């Protein structure tokens, strides 16, 4: 989300030449399915080919899909949280796919803000940083909420990207709810357990979607 917002601000400020080319580069992944994205990034991050051949020149040999070590984590009592190295590959692919969506949303919002507001703020002595921090970004709050809702529900129910890239992963480090539901139901033949997982996923998505739809309905009435 923040990457998309930053890129949109750069385009809005005319700081990037060849805006149409730059915009198409980031919009293109949106036209691909998550399965295609997963297969492409599986090739790129393959331990024996792709980007690893370049990294080996610097003595770096990341094991994208098999390294279960915790890259960053923290603990509280007996509860520990962490981000396994193996999930980084999925995060990279997901960011590549979804940054264009956030960029499109924020760029449309920025271009919809009247120039009169910007000029009035500049005449009052606002710097460009103050203009964006105190005026423009607050005006983009509805878009920010929409992007957060969309990103959150896609993250909660994502299946095809991860299954195409890693499946459950080594030691199940990429076994997200969608993959877990599929493996439990159709590979393990535990249909009742799979149905329970699916219901929990539905409720998790509803926590984000229902309040958003309710607020939109109240705003229209």
pLDDT digits (tens, 9 = 90+) for 109-126: 998 888 898 889 888 888
Burial of 126: CB neighbours in 10 Å, binned 0-12, 13-18, 19+: middle
pLDDT score recorded for residue 185: 92
Arithmetic mean of pLDDT, 80-85: 60
Length of the chain: 221
Contact of 71 with 154, CB cutoff 8 Å: no
Closest CA to 111 of 5, 2, 12: 12
Residue 78 pLDDT > 50: no
pLDDT-based confidence at residue 77 (cuts at 50, 70, 90): very low
Arithmetic mean of pLDDT, 86-91: 80
Q: Where are the alpha helices (DSSP H) in the chain?
A: 2-12, 19-27, 34-44, 51-55, 86-111, 115-123, 128-131, 137-139, 141-157, 160-165, 177-182, 191-220
Arithmetic mean of pLDDT, 158-166: 86
4-8, 137-141, 176-180, 216-220: segment of lowest average pLDDT: 216-220
Rounded to whole angstroms, the Cα distance separating 45 from 4 reads 23
Q: What domains appear along the chain, each with residue ranges and CATH number?
A: 2-110+124-220 (1.10.3720.10)
Rounded to whole angstroms, the Cα distance separating 178 from 51 reads 28
Copy the structure tokens of residue 123.
Answer: 């005449």
Residue 73 pLDDT > 60: no
pLDDT score recorded for residue 79: 45
pLDDT-based confidence at residue 70 (cuts at 50, 70, 90): low
pLDDT score recorded for residue 74: 45
- Rounded mean pLDDT of the chain? 81
Number of C-beta neighbours around residue 106 at 10 A = 24
pLDDT score recorded for residue 210: 83
Task: Give the three-state DSSP class for 83.
Answer: strand
């Amino acid at each position: 989300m923040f990457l998309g917002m930053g890129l949109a601000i750069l385009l809005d400020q005319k700081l990037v030449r060849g805006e149409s080319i730059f915009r198409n580069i980031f919009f293109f992944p949106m036209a691909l399915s998550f399965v295609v994205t997963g297969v492409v990034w599986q090739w790129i991050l393959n331990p024996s080919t792709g980007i690893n051949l370049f990294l080996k020149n610097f003595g770096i040999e990341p094991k994208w899909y098999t390294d279960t070590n915790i890259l960053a984590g923290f603990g509280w009592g007996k509860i520990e949280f962490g981000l396994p190295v193996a999930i980084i590959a999925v995060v990279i692919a997901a960011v590549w796919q979804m940054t264009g969506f956030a960029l499109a949303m924020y760029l449309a919002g920025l271009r919809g803000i009247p120039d009169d507001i910007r000029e009035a703020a500049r005449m009052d002595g606002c710097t460009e940083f103050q203009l964006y921090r105190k005026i423009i970004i607050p005006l983009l709050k509805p878009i920010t909420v929409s992007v957060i809702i969309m990103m959150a529900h896609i993250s909660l129910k994502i299946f095809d990207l991860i299954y195409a890239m890693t499946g459950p992963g080594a030691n199940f480090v990429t076994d997200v709810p969608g993959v877990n539901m599929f493996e439990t139901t159709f590979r393990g033949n535990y249909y009742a357990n799979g149905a329970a997982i699916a219901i929990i996923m539905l409720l998790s998505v509803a926590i984000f979607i229902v309040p958003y739809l309710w607020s939109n309905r109240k705003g229209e009435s």
